[in-house]
Chains A and B, each alone.
Chain A
Amino acid sequence: MQDFEPKIVAFVCNWCTYAGADLTGTSRIKYSANVKIIRFPCTGRIDFMILMKAFENGADGIIVSGCHPNDCHYSTGNFHARRRWIVFRNLLNFTGIDTDRIQFSWVSAAEGFKWADVVNNCTKKIKELGPYENYNKIAVSTLFNEEGTSNE
């Protein structure tokens, strides 16, 4: 598994974490290229189904990050998101989905270093965990094989 390059997708809010990641860039702090960002207006916008879609399209790990509590640009979006994640994480865990592969974080626009840490630690962890075999077995891409779906 030495050369395993995990696919990690980060769902971040525009106002804090996206800006924080911008600061990581302007500060020229290096981090792993495995993580790619998709921008949302607010963590409140991040539907739980988006996480399911990431796994089934082949993500090995997911980062969800937004403004620290009380810092939300829209004042309360991250609070609602937090409740959603508390519940959803519970459900994922109960259905046997590996919540170790989802890193939730608060990264502010000033926390360029923290963003790099979040990314690097997450990448390290996912590399240790290896490819998400369980989910890969049911991933969308399995349909595109010659045999594909169970004709039974």
Chain B
Amino acid sequence: MNDMIKKVTQLLTDKTIDVFIGYGKGSADRSRAIFVRTAEQAENLVFSANCTQNLAGYLLKHEVKHLGKLGILANVAALRSILQLASEFQIKDGEVLVLFANPDGSFTEFLDFHSIEGYLLTTETGITSGEQERIAALEAMSVSERWTFWNQEFEKCIKCYACRAACPMCYCHRCTTDVNQPQWIPVASHERGNLDYHLMRAMHLAGRCVNCGECANACPMDIPLNLLTYQLISPIKAGFGATAGMKSDAVYALSTYKPDDKENFII
């Protein structure tokens, strides 16, 4: 940890960056994002097993951007978020200094997107086996059982949009939910409004989701929203050869096609 504090202090002193987004101690057993701008604040940096939040979303937050040149402590999900955001022209190469926390506690500095891309090829980026099992269990159900399952989950939804706010890829200034001519997605948090919202969001993240799980973690009602987008990861990879957040200049899977894309349902 001291290495980290030293490194960040150095970066701040020599003005390489103006602010470093890292983890600090949070309430109870939680960690939280902190925005380090002075050597003194750097002393508050911590890194431990509970530091799992994907901090990349902050890179696009208006007030954070205005603090100056940004540095960030990234986990694998954050690295992928950065590349995906780059492919969508939201972050430019060299704009953000990226420190990566290695599993052994040491830190790697990534100087450009290319080195991030290289690193990601060597590391595990998929969803966990637990998540795979949950998806498999759902897939094993009948269609109407799945309907019931999701209906019960969505019933809990209060449309607080924490999932959207926490998602690094939900950076649109105007979400489809905010469009009212026509009102595609009902504002109301009734069954239809909730179903529409979550289907819409999952579709808009299909091929863009970097499986950081922030949506599900953020949900105060504990809805396993991540499964919706996670479930689409393997068909998109298998069908179109695309995985989100692996290349800074990737073409979005749903913005392109192959003349021989395979399907078995169009007659």
Nearest residue (CB) in B for A102 is: B265
B28: CB under 8 A from chain A? no
A85→B207 CA distance, assembly (Å): 13
A91→B8 CA distance, assembly (Å): 43
A149→B253 CA distance, assembly (Å): 39
B261: CB under 8 A from chain A? yes
Known: A49-B184, A96-B143. A56 touches B192 (CB 8 A): yes
Contact of B145 with A87 in the complex, beta carbons under 8 Å: no
Known: A83-B254, A138-B192. A94 touches B199 (CB 8 A): no
Interface residues of A in 70-85 (CB under 8 A from B): 70, 76, 79-80, 82-85
A120: CB under 8 A from chain B? no
Interface residues of A in 37-83 (CB under 8 A from B): 48-49, 52-53, 56, 69-70, 76, 79-80, 82-83
List chain A residues, Cβ under 8 A from B206: 87-88, 91
Instruction: Determine, out of A5-13, A18-26, A28-36, A103-111, the stretch whose residues face the partner at the interface.
Output: A103-111
Interface residues of B in 20-62 (CB under 8 A from A): none
B219: shortest Cβ distance to chain A, in Å?
16
Contact of A105 with B228 in the complex, beta carbons under 8 Å: no
Range of interface residues on A (Cβ < 8 Å): 35 or more
Range of interface residues on B (Cβ < 8 Å): 35 or more
A140: shortest Cβ distance to chain B, in Å?
7
Instruction: Determine, out of B11-19, B111-119, B161-169, B235-243, the stretch whose residues face the partner at the interface.
Output: B235-243
A52→B185 CA distance, assembly (Å): 10
Known: A86-B261, A91-B232. A48 touches B254 (CB 8 A): no
Interface class of chain A by DSSP: helix
Contact of B196 with A82 in the complex, beta carbons under 8 Å: no
Cross-chain pairs A/B with CB under 8 angstroms, 29 sampled? A49-B200, A70-B259, A79-B257, A83-B239, A83-B253, A83-B257, A86-B235, A87-B206, A87-B236, A88-B206, A89-B265, A90-B231, A91-B228, A91-B232, A92-B199, A94-B139, A95-B146, A95-B150, A95-B198, A95-B199, A96-B144, A99-B265, A104-B267, A105-B267, A106-B266, A106-B267, A134-B144, A149-B190, A150-B190
> Which residues of B come within 8 Å of A, CB atoms?
138-139, 143-151, 176, 184-185, 188, 190-192, 195-196, 198-200, 202-203, 206-207, 228, 231-232, 235-236, 239-240, 253-259, 261, 263, 265-267
Known: A53-B184, A87-B203, A96-B148. 10 other contacts (CB 8 A): A79-B257, A80-B254, A83-B240, A87-B232, A88-B206, A91-B206, A91-B228, A94-B228, A104-B265, A104-B266
List chain B residues, Cβ under 8 A from A137: 191
Known: A82-B261, A104-B265. A90 touches B232 (CB 8 A): yes
A136→B215 CA distance, assembly (Å): 29
A74→B190 CA distance, assembly (Å): 39
A11: shortest Cβ distance to chain B, in Å?
13
